[in-house]
A and B are shown apart, each in its own frame.
Chain A
Amino acid sequence: MSEFINFYFIPGVVLGSIYALGAIGITLTFGILRFANFAHGESMTLGVYFAWSMVQFSGLHPLVVMPAAMLATVIVVLGIDRVFYKPLREASVVMLVIASFGLMLMVRSVIQFTWGVQLKTVLPGIQMPYVIGDILRIAPKHVMIVAGALLLMYAVHYLLTYTKIGKAMRAMSDSAELARLTGIDTEKVVMATWIIGAALACAAGVFLAIDTQVETRMGFKLLLPMFAAAILGGVGRPYGALAGGLIIGLAEELSSYPWVGNEPLLNPGYKAGVAFAIMVGMLIWRPSGLFRGKVF
């Protein structure tokens, strides 16, 4: 039992929190700007590299420089929106998806060009876990990651529920036409969406980098699980993305638990496919997702 919790459940929760943070950005762009942003993983990678540079420069803990890295990511993402997405806003949605697909590769090649492809780390060394009652083993960084993710999610919740712009975003997500009629400034909402998405993507990336390492393809590796989490939770539903992220993270880890006999239930080589399988199942049985999101 202790093994189940320590090596399957806790890593699943940690991974799930990271997925959830990333998926919130995807679900918001999907819901409000109405397109699947394939470049979202790359915002994440970019944020990590900003954080890495700042850690190198200042010698501070990655969590300390994270706000600055988030700011830098937000600025770049807003710039990308201005140059590449805005001119296409009036065209069809699919043009935006194609553009984001191209941007995914463009941003990645800029990262590879600027920072090189060598592996980097933001937090070297290993951390021995806290051992609680001889059974539970929790690494300090995992406490940090989950706590940080919860904090950020609460901030998003607060923003969406109590602020004017948050309410506007929700209105826009429910019905763009209606929102426009009631005099909501669409461009402002679009900006807010990018800001939240980029900031959370950066945070998710930094958390992942703290848990593992920094490399140029890390964002793309998370893209599919994040999409899966967003669809599972219901498009346009931030709470859904939260639940979806956790479920996907847990499912990936638990799929290789030896539920029957001594062999892993699923060959770990297929772990990456679990998220996708769940997503396809969801598309078949309930495309609106757990939280009754939108289906376009």
Chain B
Amino acid sequence: MEQLYGYGLYAISLFTMGGIYAVLTLGLNVQWGFAGLFNVGIAGFFGIGAYATAILTTAASQRHLGGYEMPYAVGFLAAMALSGVIAYAVGKVCLRLRSDYLAIATIGIAEIFRLILKNETWATNGPRGVSEVPKPFETLPEPWNHISFLLLVLAIVAIVYVLVEVARKSPWGRVMTAIRENETAAKAAGKNVEAFRMEGFVIGCMIMALAGALMAHYLKFVDPNVTEPLLATFLVWVMLIVGGSANNKGAILGAFLMWIVWSMTEILTGRLPDELAIRAAYVRIFLIGLALQIFLQKFPQGILPEKRPAAQGKSADRGVVGEP
């Protein structure tokens, strides 16, 4: 009985984390799936969101800036706003160049952001991080605290999904697709390509910050290590590619699926004899990388391929978004 209850709690945690990753992946989908923007600095915007809400909502401490004890909603909104502003500045510099440059620039920005978190100790408590971040519903008795938080996360996933889905089907979304597929033609049709790209980039980054904020409250703690690229950038990419880029349902499916695979494989490796169990931790990373390569080569459209809104004629047979 206790074991079953344990599985229940674990399932809740799986779906909570999966849900937070689903928000992240939806953010990436707006950038990559819609606008064809290659952002590998996800961890940076994720971290901006996490720290913004942590500092705003946590009680006073001598170790870091804060003590504002703002409501959660303020934390979430501030996280998104701050991330949006920073994304705008980054976009101004990088969006005119080809996606490789954006990739290099964004991974660099994520690293710089980490340096700031580590060095500006007065605000962030440096490498020691911000602890005792409040968690919504934490005063409820077990397991209702976990269930309520899960419902909050799922509700946010649903809201974000509906919003990006509406956006995708709107004229705005169609222009995005047009730009991604053929920039020259879109320009010729009189579309302001740069402005559209910027919108996609900023909105994506704001969604990522929202995920970061959720994560901070879920972990009740943030430190610079939450922006470690493996779990905060790479895994998100794998989720989107596996789930199906440019398809919002695919993004959500990929996030839950890959998180469940990532988390549950450890239950198996943890049963190996000790020396092997330690080394298996690296094998896990290798296998996730391999899964990505297999999908890239064999199923470039992911599990749920892109569905064009009101597509004329044959729909996407080109696989993942191509370069012009």
Q: Which residues of chain A have a CB within 8 Å of any CB of chain B?
A: 30, 35-36, 38, 84, 87-88, 91-95, 97-99, 101-103, 105-106, 108-110, 112-113, 224, 227-228, 231, 267, 269-270, 272-273, 276-277, 279-280, 283-284, 287, 295-296
Contact B112 A276 (CB under 8 A): yes
| A296 neighbours in B (Cβ, 8 Å) | 97-98, 100-101
> In this complex, what residue of A is CB-closest to B32?
A94
**A102 and B289 in contact, given A231-B101, A276-B112 (Cβ under 8 angstroms):** yes
> In this complex, what residue of B is CB-closest to A270?
B115
The smallest beta-carbon distance between B111 and chain A, in angstroms, is: 6
The 16 listed contacts between A and B (C-beta, < 8 Å) are A38-B103, A95-B320, A97-B99, A97-B100, A98-B241, A102-B234, A102-B292, A105-B285, A105-B289, A113-B286, A227-B108, A269-B119, A270-B115, A276-B112, A279-B108, A283-B94
| B237 neighbours in A (Cβ, 8 Å) | 98, 101
Q: Taking A92-B322, A287-B101 as given, write out 13 further A-B residue pairs in contact, using a Cβ cutoff of 8 Å, ordered by the A residue number.
A: A35-B100, A36-B103, A102-B292, A105-B234, A105-B285, A106-B290, A109-B289, A113-B282, A276-B109, A279-B104, A283-B97, A296-B100, A296-B101
Contact B100 A270 (CB under 8 A): no
Q: How far is the CA of A91 from the CA of B293 in the complex (A)?
A: 13
Query: Is there a chain A Cβ closer than 8 Å to B93's Cβ?
Result: yes
**A276 and B111 in contact, given A105-B234, A106-B289 (Cβ under 8 angstroms):** yes
Number of interface residues, chain B, beta carbon within 8 A: 44
**A94 and B99 in contact, given A109-B285, A109-B289, A279-B108 (Cβ under 8 angstroms):** yes
Contact B283 A113 (CB under 8 A): yes
Contact B282 A276 (CB under 8 A): no
Contact B112 A110 (CB under 8 A): no
> Quick one: which of A102, A269, A284 contacts B93, CB cutoff 8 A?
A284
The smallest beta-carbon distance between B233 and chain A, in angstroms, is: 9
| A113 neighbours in B (Cβ, 8 Å) | 279, 282-283, 286
Q: How far is the CA of A41 from the CA of B30 in the complex (A)?
A: 29
Interface majority SS on A: helix, strand, loop or mixed?
helix
Max chain A C-beta neighbours (<10 A), residue from B101, B108, B118, B286: B108
The smallest beta-carbon distance between A18 and chain B, in angstroms, is: 19
Contact B296 A95 (CB under 8 A): yes
Query: Is there a chain A Cβ closer than 8 Å to B300's Cβ?
Result: yes
> Quick one: which of A87, A228, A267, A295 contacts B119, CB cutoff 8 A?
A267
Contact A106 B286 (CB under 8 A): yes
| A110 neighbours in B (Cβ, 8 Å) | 282, 286
| A94 neighbours in B (Cβ, 8 Å) | 36, 38, 99-100, 320-321, 323
Q: Which of chain B's residues 238-271 have a Cβ closer than 8 Å to chain A?
A: 238, 241
Complex interface bits, B282-324 against A, C-beta within 8 A gives 1, otherwise 0? 1101101110110011001000000000000000000111110
Complex interface bits, B208-252 against A, C-beta within 8 A gives 1, otherwise 0? 000000000000000000000010001001100100000000000
> Quick one: which of B38, B234, B319 contacts A91, CB cutoff 8 A?
B319
Contact A109 B104 (CB under 8 A): no
Contact B293 A99 (CB under 8 A): yes
Contact A269 B115 (CB under 8 A): yes
